């Protein structure tokens, strides 16, 4: 497994801007988490920006084949896939930013009920803030699977459309050669859509 620290990028160019940093200080009025949250709210402060984000998450761009791999069945690591998608200059952000959007949406959802209520996404936010299950434990692949599984198991609490529920259930995180980065992006997009993120904001 690649080190969890090596796959974390600076969020918005701010040093110590990760869930595992002691300076992140999630939930407090000072710290890099607070600084990044302010930028994130500005970035997704319009309905158009939020709609573009959800659309990009629901339809991740296909990965380009790696000509150096010499293998037609080459599967990019999850960090490589994330870097390829977020480095394309389009609307696809790095997944660390997606996690911050989710966290802010769930934080807001505690007050307006859009987080699914009891046993809903507040529990996922708590695990995210704890910075172990999705940040340190296991491999980068197992951490991605854990996040998808935790989001998927609560999706019914958001009363999604039947079509979106079917799409959520069809997301593959266990098949050989499955694209885990695409899976976690689609899952996040479905959750944000069902929460009313596009209209409600952060």
- Contact predicate 24/14, CB 8 Å: no
The arithmetic mean of pLDDT across residues 169-197, rounded, is: 95
Q: What is the rounded CA–CA span in Å between residue 106 and residue 110?
A: 6
Q: What is the rounded CA–CA span in Å between residue 107 and residue 127?
A: 13
- Contact predicate 174/152, CB 8 Å: no
Per-residue pLDDT reduced to its tens digit, 13-64? 999 999 999 999 998 999 999 999 999 999 999 999 999 999 999 999 988 7
Q: Is 96 helix (H, G, I), strand (E, B) or coil?
A: helix
What would the two tokens of residue 138 be? 């296991």
Helices (H), 44-161: 47-58, 78-86, 95-112, 121-130, 140-152
Per-residue pLDDT reduced to its tens digit, 79-129? 999 999 998 766 699 999 999 999 999 999 999 999 999 999 999 999 999
Classify residue 43 by its DSSP letter: H
The residue ranking higher by pLDDT, 188 or 7, is 188
What count of Cα atoms within 13 Å lies in the side-chain half-sphere of residue 95?
A: 27
Residue 167: exposure state from Cβ atoms within 10 A (0-12, 13-18, ≥19):
middle
Residue-level pLDDT at 78: 93
Q: What is the rounded CA–CA span in Å between residue 130 and residue 171?
A: 26
What would the two tokens of residue 90 be? 């389009």
Q: At what angle do helices 180-195 and 95-112 cross, to 10 degrees?
A: 30
Residue-level pLDDT at 155: 98
Q: Is 190 helix (H, G, I), strand (E, B) or coil?
A: helix
What would the two tokens of residue 109 be? 């959802």
Classify residue 158 by its DSSP letter: G
Per-residue pLDDT reduced to its tens digit, 52-89? 999 999 999 988 766 555 555 556 789 999 999 998 76
């Amino acid at each position: 497994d690649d080190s969890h620290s090596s796959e974390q990028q600076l969020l918005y160019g701010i040093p110590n801007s990760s869930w595992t940093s002691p300076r992140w200080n999630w939930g407090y009025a000072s710290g890099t988490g607070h600084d990044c949250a302010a930028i994130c709210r500005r970035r997704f402060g319009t309905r158009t920006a939020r709609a573009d984000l959800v659309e990009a998450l629901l339809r991740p761009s296909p990965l380009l084949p790696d000509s150096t791999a010499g293998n037609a069945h080459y599967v990019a690591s999850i960090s490589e896939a994330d870097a390829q998608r977020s480095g394309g200059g389009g609307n696809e952000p790095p997944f660390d930013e997606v996690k911050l959007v989710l966290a802010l949406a769930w934080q807001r959802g505690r007050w307006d009920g859009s987080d699914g209520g009891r046993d809903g996404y507040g529990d996922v936010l708590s695990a995210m803030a704890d910075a172990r299950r999705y940040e340190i434990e296991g491999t980068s692949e197992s951490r991605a699977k854990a996040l998808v599984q935790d989001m998927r198991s609560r999706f019914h609490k958001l009363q999604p459309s039947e079509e979106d529920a079917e799409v959520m259930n069809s997301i593959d995180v266990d098949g050989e050669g499955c694209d885990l980065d695409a899976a976690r992006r689609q899952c996040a997009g479905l959750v944000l859509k069902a929460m009313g993120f596009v209209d409600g904001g952060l």
